[in-house]
Amino acid sequence: MKLSKKSITVLSFSVGACLFVSTAFADALLGSGYDRLKDSVKNTASVMEKGLNNYTVETMYTLKDNDQMLLQSSMLQKMDTANQVKENNEVTKNAKGETTSRYTYADKKQTIDKNESDNTYYVFENSTDMNQNRKGPADFSNPFKEKGATEVEKIVDAVVGSLKDNVQVEEGTDGGKVFSGSLSEAQVPALVNAVSSFGIKQMLDSERDLPQIESDIFVKKVVGTANENKAGYLENLTGEVTLSGKDKNGVQHDLNLNVMLKLSEIGSTKITKPDLTTAKVEKVSRNGGFSTKYVGTYQNDIIMDKDGKFVKIGERTVKITSVDGDNVSGTYSETVNPGFESEYPNKDAFNFEYNMATSPMFTYTDSKGEQKRGMIHPNMTGKIYVDMNLEVSDKNAYKQSNSMKPFYDGEFSRVFE
């Protein structure tokens, strides 16, 4: 079983939020432990973004259901921000005891990815013309500078409420600070349980491999510790949270997530590029898998639900006219059947051309004269997938806009004449 990034984010947020929300035993002489811990987290993110030339991050998490292991993952990540080099080693074990591993190396010129399933090193050559706005391979994205971060922080502060003053913080032996705390089921405020219940239900609804907990969801136990060094940033963080609830058959489930994070080897991290002299190597283009075989016409139907029936009201057509190395070009158009113009008034038609080594996206002008961004992915044999109206949320991140076209379907099938 492999959890989506969304699921791990929800579960990890639960640990972090509960660490802030739940810890007890205040030390009035040192002030609010919550605020001090939050400041330490922010400072750590800041120095990882700018301030540490190189460092190593170890992370490990284990997810259990009623003491039965569902997933265990560990990652060793080495970052050299001065030379823009990084190396990742990740090992994952599922509920069946099956273990998978993955290795990745990246610098300014190459990305090397090894998957143990075929013992092959896949080598991606990074273009020297790569968009300068894109982040380097070892750049750290500060979550506190993301869009909406300030608003999320205010929400967490509001949920924490008076518990801010209940964080235990002590002076460490090396001049730093030690944050710790625990919380039992009876100590969790109703508001925290409500927020956790909503988040977990949203996550579980999208994961087939997790128990489908539907009712009586609450935070059963929280334990957390964090060590801040004398420089003011965190070096160790551990958290454990147990969430309880019942599935549709009334069976009780205790989901336990244990997370460990360690920041080490600051200033002494060494990264060695793998020697591929005798290895099995396959060079991969940065064009997302496109080749000349994808030149052709692709279509899908514009379908709406009308009077309890599915009705075809038009067609979308993508023509890929050229694939030359990393350069992809073509056209996009929409037609609407007579009588349905009012249902689909804004028909798009545009040309696109882009270089995958520079950016995976193309820019187009829609029927309203507004500039938008799109992306094309080879989907499977004889098909492509087209994302439209994308929003760039970060230099390397994008998401689908909330204002999508009506009745949109991004999967296109090849037209054979």
pLDDT of residue 29: 32
User: Which 3 state secondary structure label does DSSP give 95?
Assistant: coil
Whether the predicted pLDDT of 164 surpasses 60: no
Domain limits of the chain?
33-264, 287-414
Whether the predicted pLDDT of 281 surpasses 80: yes
Fold classified for 33-264: outer membrane lipoprotein receptor (LolB), chain A (2.50.20)
Whether the predicted pLDDT of 159 surpasses 90: no
Distance CA 317, CA 320 (A): 10
Tokens 């600051």 sit on residue: 266
Give the class (CATH, top level) of 287-414. Answer: mainly beta
pLDDT of residue 123: 83
What is the average pLDDT across 304-315?
88
pLDDT above 70 as % of the chain: 74
Q: Which of 6-15, 32-41, 91-100 has the lowest mean pLDDT?
A: 6-15
Amino acid sitting at position 122: Y
Distance CA 237, CA 178 (A): 10
pLDDT of residue 320: 94
84, 136 contact by CB (below 8 A): yes
Which residues make Cβ contacts (< 8 Å) with residue 352, sequence separation at least 6?
328, 329, 330, 331, 332, 362, 363, 364, 374
pLDDT band at residue 35 under the 50/70/90 scheme: confident
Distance CA 347, CA 344 (A): 7
User: Which 3 state secondary structure label does DSSP give 197?
Assistant: helix
pLDDT: is 111 or 129 the higher one?
111
pLDDT of residue 199: 61
What is the average pLDDT across 66-80?
91
Nearest to 44 by CA among 259, 271, 261: 261
Tens of pLDDT along 118-138? Answer: 788 888 776 554 444 456 787
Query: Whole-number mean pLDDT of the chain?
Result: 78
Q: Which of 35-44, 275-284, 393-402 has the lowest mean pLDDT?
A: 393-402
